[in-house]
Each structure stands twice: as structure tokens, then as C-alpha cells.
């Protein structure tokens, strides 16, 4: 079964959907490489679209309750001592800074890697294989539900090409995460530069 999210994914009738965080509880992690690419296209300072303020306590608590193998737990491990992590800003209603009034992403071609593989995530198995799974958010993606028809192995609803692409992007996310963990001082200078 081929799935083309670009054509099938319309603004989700569910609230929230992948670019809106109910009660501003979630966030979209952005790596330094993604941030640089976005800055080039929008021609604005980092402080226009990046947030490096401390997360709200309820968000930190939600991360603490995540499955250790999923993205939330990874992001928890990246928080600095002040509960900060580099992320895209959200508007007052919880919408991503780049989600326009038509429900479309203004930086779609350069969206962060985590956005490119959403609504999927991946985990590394004991044998170092990468397994694609549904993302660990609270909402259920209607496209996955419809295409999966009750299927629990999401790889079975993707083409081989899509599986390879998601795994490739996941490896890029992993490299960015390693850089992020090791280079928090560089990250703080990066933010300060604007």
C-alpha cells in the first residue's frame, strides 16, 4: 500500500493535530542544522522562530512519563539544568509558528527532520536494526488508522521506499541528537548570535 502524506494529509479534523499542541503541552524539537536551513529561507533571526526558554513543569512531567524508548524520553534526556531544549516557537493557541491560517506549513520544504517523518518515529532494536513505529503523541493519525485497517505494524502500510527514507531521516535525527547532547555550550552561543 503506497501512502502519499503530502496529498492525503489535510488539516486534521482532530484537535490537536500534528502541528498544534493542546494546552501548549508539546513542542517540536529542532536541531541546529534544521534551524540554519530554516533561517536561510525565511531570512529572519533565530529568535523569531526558535524557543530556548525553560519548558513548563507540566511538559517536563509529561516527558518523564514517556516510554523510555520513544521520542519524549529522548527529549527529556536533552534538557539542560534549567529544563530548556531548542524547539520551534508556538503561537498562543499552541500552533507551530510556521502553521499558517490555511493549516499548511510555511517552511514545508525545509521543515525539521522530526516533522518529515511524523506521524512516525523509530526505535533501535537490540540487534541495531531500526524499527518504524507510530509517534508517541496522544493523538491517532487518521491516515494511519485508515491505511492500517487495524494493523499494529506500521511498516506494513508503507512502501519499501518510504521505509528507507524514514530510516535515513531517523539516522540524521540521531546524529543531530548526539551533537546536541555534546555541544550544549555551542548551542547557547548559537542562540545568542540570533
Q: What is the pLDDT of residue 191?
A: 67
Give the per-residue pLDDT at 102: 82
Question: What is the pLDDT at residue 9?
Answer: 57
81-85, 101-105, 131-135: which has the minimum mean pLDDT?
Answer: 131-135
Residue 62's Cβ-count burial label (10 Å; 0-12, 13-18, 19+) is middle
pLDDT(1) > 50: no
22-62 pLDDT, tens digit each: 766 778 888 888 998 999 999 999 989 999 889 889 888 88
Query: Is-above-0.85 flag for pTM?
Result: no
d(CA 126, CA 21): 32
In degrees, to the nearest 5, what angle opens at C-alpha 103 toward C-alphas 100 and 108? Answer: 70
**Percentage of the chain exceeding pLDDT 90:** 10
Backbone region of residue 16 per phi and psi (left: phi > 0; alpha: psi in -120 to 50; beta: other values): beta
pLDDT in tens, 52-102: 889 889 888 888 887 776 777 778 877 888 888 888 999 988 889 999 888
Report the C-alpha gap between 133 and 122 in whole angstroms. 5
Residue 48 host element (H or E): helix 46-49
| Residues 151, 144: Cα–Cα separation, whole Å | 9
> Which pLDDT belongs to residue 24?
66
Bridge partners, residue 131, by sequence = 123
Mean pLDDT within 115-132: 80
Q: Which residue has the higher pLDDT, 79 or 192?
A: 79
Provide the pLDDT for residue 2.
39
Residue identified by cell 485497517 is: 149
Q: Helices (H), strands (E): how many in the chain? A: 9, 4
- CB-CB contact of 80 with 53 (8 Å): no
Contact present, 17 and 139 (Cβ < 8 Å): yes
What pLDDT is stored for residue 13 in this prediction?
A: 46
**Residue 181 vs residue 14, higher pLDDT:** 181
In angstroms, the CA 91 to CA 21 distance is: 10
**Residue 117 CB neighbour total at 10 angstroms:** 21
The H or E element containing residue 134 is strand 130-134
- Where is pLDDT greater, at 136 or 100? 100
Cα angle 26, 32, 34 (rounded to 5 degrees) comes to 75
Amino acid at each position: 500500500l503506497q501512502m502519499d502524506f503530502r496529498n492525503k494529509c489535510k488539516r486534521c479534523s482532530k484537535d490537536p493535530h500534528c502541528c498544534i499542541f493542546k494546552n501548549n503541552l508539546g513542542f517540536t524539537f529542532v536541531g541546529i542544522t534544521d534551524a540554519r536551513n530554516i533561517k536561510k529561507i525565511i531570512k529572519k533571526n533565530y529568535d523569531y522562530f526558535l524557543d530556548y526558554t525553560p519548558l513548563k513543569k507540566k511538559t517536563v512531567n509529561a516527558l518523564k512519563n514517556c516510554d523510555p524508548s520513544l521520542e519524549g524520553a529522548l527529549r527529556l534526556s536533552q534538557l539542560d539544568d534549567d529544563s530548556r531544549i531548542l524547539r520551534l516557537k508556538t503561537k498562543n493557541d499552541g500552533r507551530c509558528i510556521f502553521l499558517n491560517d490555511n493549516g499548511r506549513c510555511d517552511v514545508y520544504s525545509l521543515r525539521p527532520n522530526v516533522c518529515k517523518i511524523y506521524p512516525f518515529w523509530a526505535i533501535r532494536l537490540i540487534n541495531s536494526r531500526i524499527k518504524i513505529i507510530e509517534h508517541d503523541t496522544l493523538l491517532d493519525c487518521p491516515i494511519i488508522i485508515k491505511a492500517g485497517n487495524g494493523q499494529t505494524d506500521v511498516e506494513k502500510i508503507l512502501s519499501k521506499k518510504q521505509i528507507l527514507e524514514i530510516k535515513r531521516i531517523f539516522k540524521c535525527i540521531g546524529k543531530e541528537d548526539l551533537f546536541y547532547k555534546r555541544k550544549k555550550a555551542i548551542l547557547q552561543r548559537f542562540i545568542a548570535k540570533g
